[in-house]
Each structure stands twice: as C-alpha cells, then as structure tokens.
Amino acid sequence: ETGVTQTPRHLVMGMTNKKSLKCEQHLGHNAMYWYKQSAKKPLELMFVYNFKEQTENNSVPSRFSPECPNSSHLFLHLHTLQPEDSALYLCASSQGPTTGGFGYEQYFGPGTRLTVT
C-alpha cells in the first residue's frame, strides 16, 4: 500500500449506531488530519494531530471522537450521528508542523462516503 488509505470507502449507518473510520498513511509523515466535505461547502478541517497529539479541534461536535494511536494511524469514532453529518470524510497527512516557515503539502486519502439514515 502506498500513500494514504481509508476504510471503509462507503458507510451507511443509523442515528443510533456506533462506527469507526480508519486512516493509514505510508509516507512517514507526523501530522494527520480529518476533513469533512459536504456538497456546496468548502472543506472543513475537523481535527489535526501532530506527533500523535491533537493540536486542533475546530468546534467539532462530541459525537465525533478522533483517536491517533501512532503517527501512521488515525481513527474517527462516530456515535449518535445526525442526517446532516452525511458527507465525504477525508483523511490527510503531511510533514510538519513548521514554525515561521512554509506550509507542507498535505496528501489525501480517497475518503469515506458516509450516509446517516
């Protein structure tokens, strides 16, 4: 496997279910990200992990719970979701962080298409 992989690629869940999204990067990066992509809206950054530590949480509801056990793996645990949470969830990784310098490019996985019924 190369790059950034995400499983599952598609997920349908009811509002009372609990499920998890998995992301794995094979690039030797030390920063990982979760994004939400909804139709007609800009990508929304949800969480950032640097060296396994969460450094950003952009006011994400507690029904989304991230976990980063090591620099190569990132999970997003889902519970009691709402229909408006249906979206494409993208994982990304990069080198970094940097200070006072330039931004490293992020490498994206193919995404998990989530449908909440």
Partner 1 sequence: AQSVTQLDSHVSVSEGTPVLLRCNYSSSYSPSLFWYVQHPNKGLQLLLKYTSAATLVKGINGFEAEFKKSETSFHLTKPSAHMSDAAEYFCVVSRSNTGNQFYFGTGTSLTVIP
Task: Specify the stretch interacting with partner 1 by CB under 8 A; choose among 14-22, 59-67, 73-81, 89-97.
Answer: 89-97
Q: Which of 111, 112, 108 is nearest to 29 (CA)?
A: 108
Alpha carbon distance 83, 15 (integer Å): 8
* 74-50-111 Cα angle (round to 5): 35
Minimal distance in Å, beta carbon 8 to partner 1?
14
Which listed residue (42, 53, 70, 84) binds partner 1 by CB under 8 A? 42
| Nearer to partner 1 among residue 6 and residue 11 (C-beta) | 6
> With binding defined as CB under 8 A, does residue 109 bind partner 1?
yes
